[in-house]
Structure 1
Amino acid sequence: MLATAVVVTGCATPGAEQTAAGLDRRHQTIIDGPQRPEDLIAVPASTWVVSSGVPHGTTTGRLQGVNSTDSAIVDLWPANAGPARPDRETYPDCPGPPDAQRFSPHGLDLVATGPGVARLLVVNHGGREAVEVFDVDTASSPPLVSWRGCAVLPETVGGNGVAALPDGSGFVATNAYDSTKPPDYKAIIEGRSSGDVRLWQRGTGWTTVPFSALPGPNGVAVSADSKTAYVADWPSRRIVAIPVAGGLPKTVASLKFLPDNLRTTVRGTILTTGQDITAEDLGTCGAGEGPDCPPGFSIVEINPGKGKTKVVYRSEDPEFGMATTAAPVGNEIWVGRVGKDRIARVSP
């Protein structure tokens, strides 16, 4: 996946964003129709990509599947879902399936758990703040999604990104802001601490990762050994490494935009994109639907172990901005965004 499309090279200054030579802005096509695709993740051994369809207006939230072969779009949950299979032993405190009419998906993660099966994690804001857990039959086309359980987030925690621990012991989620109050984005962008990183483990439930307080933590990924959480420090325009067992954040990449979701590649590098916007314009741009929204986006690949960062694609498309995720899909990178029902397919 992306083995030939994206190559990390050395940089003059570790952690500093570099511009790659020879970027071809024509290598971008658009899929119109997916509902507000805030986050995207490829289904392993499949042609399908899962999209978190954010609710808007009178349209309820949903999980959708987008086929990379023909760009077909289908609902996966709650419509066309498999029967719920609650795991009361693993998730004893989960009150039951989410309210389908209030479902509001956000960050995603998906990991294979066996041949033809995977586990999907979804941050949900609708009716409750929780990480919803789904089983995915990846051998089906489109994949069959069945609700499995949930980990309800502690009171005041406003979830954003989620990432499974590769050792199978649980997952981490970012707490972006106090969910009981309207988010003060201006204060967050000015650098005031608003959240942290939370760890969920079976039998223990939620705990706070020590020393993880940040202003507006957003996307998250976890190292292959499950020891390090890589977190998008959104307002500070940087990616930080935080030991899951506790330790001070260390900057591994400094960026020119507000980094949103994080996605790992098969080589262990991290892809990210985001919004190059000021605190002043954020108020009028809103969720990408108002004025003062910046056009275009950059996709950056980060080698956290070496502190090397490279721009692998840059677009100045005036019709596609406010990017939120850059997900590896075969030899492409798929870019989601807020405010519009569209995905950009990029071939670097």
Structure 2
Amino acid sequence: MKISIARPRVLRPDGVMLRLFAVLLAALPPLALAAGPAECAPQDGLKPICGLHQPGDLEALPDGRHLLVTQMNMGNTTFGVSWKPGQLTRVDGASGERVPAYPRPGALVRSNPRKGWGDPACPEEIGSALSPGGLHLSRRNDGVWQVLVVNHGVRESVEFFELGRDGLQWRGCVVAPPTSLLGDVAALPGGAFAATNMIDGHRLDLVARIGAVVARGEDTGFVLTWAPGAGWKQIPGSGGTLPKGIQSDSDGRHVYYSVGGLRAEVRKVVVATGAQVATAPGLQAERLSWDGRRLLATGFEGPYRADVCGKVAGHCPAPFHVTALDSSTLATTRLFRQDGTALEGATVAVPQGKRWFLGSFISRHILSIPRP
């Protein structure tokens, strides 16, 4: 049996992926590489839950009390950018108690793949090499709770976990196409999923001029689907600038995803054909989530400004918003806005009970706010 080793995945200067990521950092706040300490004190009913590291995505767990939080742990080295070992953490929304969900300290990696959970060619359990990005919780056809996690550690992949009484159990994975840089993931029926691919690394012409491409709002990536027996496919017409957040509807017929840059918007498309059903133009969204029947978009208030976010190393005090979108028309309603002092680099808002919990790509805490 192979055992995953906790070693960072390094993007070296002569690699295509380092050039891709260097440009991505030029288009996004570079601070994700060095999350500095942020103020972690309550203000005006806004309550931080401290002691986390780059908690970029959250899911509310079915018990109505806990959250599953990603801690990606992106860093830099002498040789370039690396994804260091991170963690999935269970957080008590009421008390703030934090418990490692995967990997668990001292637990042996016992690869236990399950048929129908990911690609049978998945090389091994990710174990302590996990560096989690996007996160999605759903219920499979047999009623079992499934957690999908975008992973950047050692391999670029989507990892499959089963959520049960004993916590998270690894069940399989799907390795991403070469040179992909995945942003987020959403489950589809039958063990399938959709994922945003922020940059198309196969296009070397795009890579060579990608800084200018991003600045002009041209396409850099697209949305992919993966299904058992069918493998990876690109959704037609899904190209956009740095596609990031993604969600699916209850029957998996549609996906909603966000693109950034000058032509930032949220789109609703038909998975099978790529036909565009609706758009929310001008809306910046790092991640998307659900609040009952409404879609929630969280991100910067207006275009990203490098002179504000990134002026001081380890900080991103830019205003952010949480906006509700009608699931049919994508008509928008602004629900919450903050100047960035309570949470820097906000990415996602997740309802749990009478409060919402907000994640961040840079901070060392998540934020609890009264439910609007």
User: Judging changes above 3 Å, is the alpha-carbon distance between structure 1 residues 319 and 182 closer, same or farther for their aligned structure 2 residues?
Assistant: farther
Describe how 1:66-215 pairs up with structure 2 within 5 A.
Answer: 66-80=91-105, 83-88=110-115, 90=117, 91-98=119-126, 100-101=128-129, 103-113=130-140, 117-137=144-164, 139-140=165-166, 144-165=167-188, 167-178=189-200, 184=210, 187-215=213-241
What is the match of residue 348 of structure 2?
325
**Aligned partner of 2:126: which letter?**
P
Q: Is 1:221–1:263's contact at 8 Å kept on the other side of the alignment? A: yes
Return the offset for 1:215. Answer: 1.3
Aligned with residue 49 of structure 1, among 51, 67, 79 = 67
**Aligned partner of 1:225: which letter?**
D
1:270 equivalent to 2:288? Answer: no
Structure-1 separation of matches of 2:127 and 2:212 = 31
What TM-score do the two structures reach when normalised by structure 2?
0.76
Once the two structures are superposed, residues 44-82 of structure 1 have per-residue CA deviations (whole angstroms, 9 ceiling, x without a partner) of 134211111011459631111111121101111112568
CA-based RMSD of the aligned residues comes to 2.8
Q: In percent, how many aligned pairs have the same letter?
A: 28
Q: Is 1:176–1:195's contact at 8 Å kept on the other side of the alignment? A: yes
Structure-2 separation of matches of 1:127 and 1:168 = 27
1:28 equivalent to 2:46? Answer: yes
What is the match of residue 6 of structure 1?
none
Structure-2 separation of matches of 1:183 and 1:63 = 35
Structure-2 separation of matches of 1:116 and 1:282 = 48
Would you tell me which structure has more strand in proportion to its own residues? Answer: 1
Structure-2 separation of matches of 1:84 and 1:99 = 9
Structure-2 separation of matches of 1:193 and 1:233 = 9
What is the match of residue 334 of structure 1?
357
1:40 equivalent to 2:58? Answer: yes
1:64 equivalent to 2:92? Answer: no
Q: Is 2:309–2:318's contact at 8 Å kept on the other side of the alignment? A: no
Bigger relative CO (Cα 8 Å, ≥ 6 apart): 1
User: Judging changes above 3 Å, is the alpha-carbon distance between structure 1 residues 169 and 150 closer, same or farther for their aligned structure 2 residues?
Assistant: closer
1:298 equivalent to 2:321? Answer: yes
Structure-1 separation of matches of 2:303 and 2:340 = 19
**Aligned partner of 2:88: which letter?**
L
Please say which of residues 57-66 and 81-90 is displaced more in the overlay: 81-90
Gaps of 5+ in 1: 1-24
What TM-score do the two structures reach when normalised by structure 1?
0.81
**Across the two proteins, how many residue pairs are aligned to each other?**
314
Structure-2 separation of matches of 1:326 and 1:255 = 19
